[in-house]
A and B are shown apart, each in its own frame.
Chain A
Amino acid sequence: MSATPLQVFSRPFAIEPVTNIMMPDGIFDNAIYNLRIAAHFTNTSSSALNNVTIWFESVGDPGIVPVAHTHRFATIPAGATVLVWWDADFQHATPGKRLVSMLAKADGFDARRSIQQIFVSQTRFDSLTNTYTCTVEEGTLTVSNFKGHLPDRGWGTPDDSGKECRCPPALGPVVPTGLTMAWAPNPAYAGAHGDLPFSDPWWKILALIIAIVAALVAIIAAAVGGGKASFSVGGSFEETDPSVKCCSLKGAGSGAPEFTVAGVASAIASGAIAVACSDAADPFWRGQEATPPAAGEQTVGEKVVAEWKLVEAPNAGRAYPADISFHYQRFTTGATYTHAVTETQTNIHVAGDVEVETPDVVHPLKPLWVRCKFHKADNGGLFKGSDLYAFALFQAPGGLFFVEPLTDDGLGFDPGPNDGVYAGSLDLYRAYRLLLQQHPPQEVTGIWRVFVFAQDVNLTKPGTPPEIAAQHIGGFFVASAIEITFDPNLPCPLKAQGQILVA
């Protein structure tokens, strides 16, 4: 028999399970112990595959402990891409690039093995110096002097409009506006450019990881208690005006969606680092380019001090600008070199409108469903298939939330694979049992609200030259039901994108 025509073509990515968000560029960080290893499997044949099983085989680090689980699909349409994931413990993971293997088997075929790399970093916080470090095989980035717009004092309390608009206390997003990054290469190097982290993303991605990990560990500690991350309280920020206003979803019985909202908001806010520091070439690369060391010198350290101003709040899929000034220093065995830049950068992870379709009325024991179209910017068509990692929050009439994936795989309520329609559904029978377990029990009947979110996926092919691969970063939110704002006079920006009457 031939091998099952079901393969993984892009790097598996990390999902943080408390918030449900993808980590920056899909990179795993061992500061967060429990992470999901997610992968897109594509049916490369022209026929549907039947009775498909997909399982995780192995990972190239004994410090990473996956939970064995088999995903089963009655059928996978021709050309369809399905999303699967496995929980794993990364507490004892070693930073670096690690291989993972996954197998897929369909009726009439032998099992096929897909081997891909994942990236693992290690973030730590030093409370004495108020600094963070992010270590990878190629070196360590130390971040200090974080500056940012902090959450408004009203965060976590209902606003005056009486809309019960609230966010989890102390878990509001911080929008960074400056930081100091010091890179210690491992080992010291000769020539203009050192090794990129994982030979892939720019050095700035490590600063983004730090910012998001710092936010996530606090969220995880609030959600599930201590012991699930290497630290639970991060460092302090130097505050810049104005404060960040945001609205979260109304408190949920399970609590978890609050943390999804907090995670999404933090990820969007932290994205300002990546935007200000440019995807085309980050301050380290540009500083290196401008300061070639003399022959025989070795670079032992580099430092970037950056500050930027945001005239508008960062938001998913918007081309918001950042006016940045950065000062780069290269420390070699013979001299110190400097380079300074002042410019305006703009978010290039932009997207167009989101179309959301839901049924008007659903019977109490039938599934709820949602279909979405995520438009690219400038009439560039639709995101499709494995372009996005997307999910929906279904909010029950009593406030409880349920998170469900949105996929463009032609399964369930999705009309066809790769047509740009992402669909997801909620089994109301299962939801009903959870609603009844609440105190007091919640009703299944009434108006359900739907919120959708989407992050882009890094689809760079393995083997792409590092300086090219570095320009492609995944994990940016291109669609979000949450908006953050610096304007305290704006109304609650959170709006349900769909409503369903269950009756």
Chain B
Amino acid sequence: MSAHLVIHDGNPWWASPDIWVVPGNDPNGAPGSPIAGTANYVWARATNSGNVAVSGARIDFYWANPAAAVVVGVATFIGSAYADLAPNAVQEVLCLVPWNPVIVNGGHECVLAVIHGAGDQNPLPDPLPNGFSFDPPAHDQIAQLNVSVLQAAMLRMPQTLYVHALPREAKRARVSVEVGGRLDERVLSNLGLKGLEPAQHMCVDVGLGRVPACHDPDAARELELEVPRGGAVPVFVHLQAERLPHGQYQLVHIVERQGERVTGGVSYAIVNTRHHHDQAAKEQAA
């Protein structure tokens, strides 16, 4: 007899359907991509799949700069929310601390949610110790949303992500590109992309580089990285998507591996919705 607290991972696991963001001042507004420089509210969907009720389960929310694997100390605490979860109950949970994504990343940040509750069958340390790797696949109570939406026509600047090493452990990591696939419909809706279809063909060119140039001739589909202990190494993702049809999206996953083990990832949903926006604006004006 125990509780079993879960915030579900997604596919890939860093695309959790159980975390979403509501940009703007109304926490009950429509979900979407976070907007830098303004208030955003973060939500999570918490589940108790055990057979004991939990009162006052606490859900902690964090944000981090885009990174494949995230550890405590690198992520920034946003705030907490509480929920009562009967056996087999599912509860949407709102954190009312406004989150203001930093403008330097254009709002492209990673959000994590962690649930703690009395009677959980495999509880996490509370509080999480510094340097603790969030590692969502290893913990039912932790989930991550690391999916950024990018307009195909606005990809001149490379996207930046970081590969971190633990405080006292250097690491060797391999970062590679994977293109294609379909987002969970719930994630699509959470990102404000409901109705978009995945592109049928490869429409996005992707390269990984070590320099933040607009065009890196040495960009590759895979990088081997040596990260000093306690340090971080930036990776620049060069994207071009001129061939993406209107109303479609293409997924780009940047995956970090140690050996054959996937240790983290960042996904970009490259979309082409400007036509629809322009058309809607014209119709509204008319």
Contacts and interface: CB of A to CB of B under 8 A. Distances in A.
Interface of A: 53, 55-62, 66, 68-70, 98-101, 103, 105, 111, 113, 115
Interface string B78-97: 11111110000001011111
Contact of B82 (A53, A56, A60, A62): A56
A215 to B, nearest CB: 31
Given A55-B84, A70-B84, A99-B27, A60 B56 contact: no
Given A55-B83, A58-B79, A70-B84, A115 B56 contact: no
A68 B93 CA distance: 14
A101 B28 CA distance: 11
Contacts of B97: 58-62
A101 B94 contact: yes
B162 interface: no
Contact of B96 (A53, A100, A103, A105): A100
Contacts of A101: 27, 81, 94, 96
B77 A66 contact: no
A115 B98 CA distance: 14
Contacts of B95: 58
B257 interface: no
Given A55-B56, A68-B55, A70-B55, A115 B84 contact: no
Interface string B51-93: 0000110100000000000000000011111111000000101
Given A60-B96, A62-B97, A101-B96, A53 B84 contact: yes
A57 B28 contact: no
A111 B79 CA distance: 22
21 contacts: A55-B56, A55-B83, A56-B82, A57-B81, A57-B83, A57-B93, A58-B80, A58-B95, A58-B96, A59-B97, A60-B79, A60-B97, A62-B78, A62-B97, A69-B56, A100-B96, A101-B27, A101-B81, A103-B83, A105-B84, A115-B27
A25 to B, nearest CB: 22
B258 to A, nearest CB: 33
A99 B58 CA distance: 18
Nearest to A62: B79
Nearest to B91: A111
Given A68-B55, A69-B56, A58 B98 contact: no
A68 B56 contact: yes
A68 B82 contact: yes
A124 to B, nearest CB: 24
B246 to A, nearest CB: 37
Nearest to A70: B55
A113 B84 contact: no
A98 B56 CA distance: 21
Contacts of B94: 57-58, 101, 113
Given A57-B96, A62-B80, 6 more contacts: A56-B82, A58-B97, A98-B96, A99-B27, A113-B28, A115-B27
B82 A115 contact: no
Given A101-B96, A113-B94, A55 B55 contact: yes
B162 to A, nearest CB: 24
Contacts, number: 61
Contacts of A111: 91
Contacts of A98: 96
A70 to B, nearest CB: 5
Nearest to A72: B55
Contacts of A59: 96-97
B106 to A, nearest CB: 24
Interface residues of B, number: 20
A53 B26 CA distance: 25
A66 B82 contact: yes
Given A53-B84, A58-B81, A115-B27, A68 B58 contact: yes
Interface string B1-45: 000000000000000000000000001100000000000000000
A60 B91 CA distance: 19
A465 to B, nearest CB: 19
Contacts of B98: 60
Contacts of B93: 57-58
A113 B28 CA distance: 10
A115 B41 CA distance: 13
A99 B98 CA distance: 10
Contacts of B28: 113, 115
Contacts of B81: 57-58, 101
A70 B56 contact: yes
A98 B93 CA distance: 17
Contacts of A57: 81-83, 93-94, 96
Contacts of A103: 83-84
Contacts of A100: 96
A502 to B, nearest CB: 35
B129 to A, nearest CB: 19
Nearest to A56: B82
Minimum-distance CB pairs A-B, first 6: A68-B56, A58-B81, A60-B96, A58-B96, A70-B55, A68-B82
A445 B179 CA distance: 80
A104 to B, nearest CB: 10
A111 B82 CA distance: 13
B83 A99 contact: no
A113 B84 CA distance: 13
Nearest to A98: B96
Nearest to B79: A62
B96 A55 contact: no
A58 B84 contact: no
A100 B79 CA distance: 12
Nearest to B98: A60
A56 B94 CA distance: 11
Contacts of B84: 53, 55, 70, 103, 105
Contacts of B82: 55-58, 66, 68
Contacts of A61: 97
A229 to B, nearest CB: 24
B256 to A, nearest CB: 30
Contacts of B79: 58, 60, 62
Nearest to A67: B56
B30 to A, nearest CB: 16
A80 B138 CA distance: 47
Nearest to A111: B91
A61 B80 CA distance: 9
Contacts of A115: 27-28, 96
A62 B77 contact: yes
B257 to A, nearest CB: 35
